[in-house]
Amino acid sequence: MINFEKLKEEYKQISQELSSEDVFKDRERYAQLSRRFSFLEKILNLVEARNNYLKEKQHFQEVLSDSQEEEEFKNLALEELGKLEEKLKNIEEEIEERVFEESEPERDIIIEIRAAAGGEEAALFASDLFKMYAKYVERKKWKLEVLSSNPTEIGGFKEIIFSVKGKGVYAHFKFESGVHRVQRVPVTESGGRIHTSTATVAVLVEPKEVELRLASEDLKIDTFRASGHGGQHVNVTDSAVRVTHLPSGIVVSCQDERSQIKNREKALRVLKARIMEKMQQEEERKITHQRRTQIGTGDRSEKIRTYNFPERRVTDHRINFTLYRLEQILEGDIEEIIKKLIKEERKKIYEAKGLA
């Protein structure tokens, strides 16, 4: 639970600082304090509303415990108490969202899914993960765009890269980075033995133009004839593009579009996201505090979740959380898992900031 007294104390301190004459001399400081003051004021107004609900709740509880009250009046109190519980739950969730959203960047993302151990079965699982995320994106009314894909003959993906845009996409998807493991009888085998296959997921923040500019001399751009699925055009035009970032050695290829220009644009978007991720990882190695508040390391080599078909079970290993409704989860119903991960991370952040 958030320590509201600490927020009140900070609000009071900022209020006093804003009323002093010295603060007006530093415009940047004044603007920063004003933003924080406004933010805290909104939070504390919600806290006040919550406290009023708590007083009402106490009143109705007293009515219910009073042996002299009439049964009809107690029934009305019980009904009102149920409504209050729902209001309290909603306002506490809103307070938590507001407190946390200030530190959570509002960013678009690029997700890369790759088949790992398990050959064709791993590629089919990569396809299952993509469909799961696509359906989740649809539920949330966000926007998904496939940037690059490498499909297999039987409907799997060796690799698929796509962007997701919308409010809150980073906050909800950032926990998906890592190794996802599936345990099932492979579609590619007639026998009844259960196999374990894996796919890796990497969630990258898509940089804004002002954050990362690539010098043309640092890029090597090659075009080549596209191959694989996609119709006749893939074999007759040099529409595929390969971009190499010479300083880092990062290489991105894109061949999904018929247009060389579009393939180049998509490849550069993925390249920038990968470069940004590399820069962030290097920065995070220096910041142990941030690592302590993460749910897992966010490393794509870390096993984070198992999808067990015989048991209809999905287990997130980072928070030891299991659900027995595999089919619904693969249909995009992953909100419960994500909310649990968000809650656990927020708890760690509150503890680190002394707000818990």
Cα atoms in the Cβ-side hemisphere of radius 13 Å centred on 38: 7
Architecture in CATH for domain 109-198+298-353:
2-Layer Sandwich (3.30)
Give pLDDT tens digits for 68-123. Answer: 767 777 788 888 888 888 889 889 888 877 777 655 557 888 999 999 988 899 99
pTM attached to this predicted model: 0.65
Q: Which two tokens stand for residue 1?
A: 């639970």
pLDDT band at 355 (very low <50, low <70, confident <90, very high): low
Name 76's Cβ contacts closer than 8 Å, sequence gap at least 6: none
Q: SS3 string of 288-306?
A: HHHHHCCCCCCCCCCEEEE
Contact 159, 115 (CB under 8 A): yes
Q: How far apart are CA 142 and CA 60, in angstroms?
A: 42
Average pLDDT over residues 134-154: 92
Give pLDDT tens digits for 4-58. Answer: 888 888 888 898 888 887 788 788 888 888 888 888 888 899 999 999 989 888 8
Give pLDDT tens digits for 278-333. Answer: 877 776 665 554 445 455 544 556 789 999 999 999 999 999 999 999 999 999 99
Residue that has been written with the tokens 């919550």 in this structure: 50
Task: Please tell me whether residue 158 adopts helix, strand or coil conformation.
Answer: strand
Task: Please tell me whether residue 253 adopts helix, strand or coil conformation.
Answer: strand
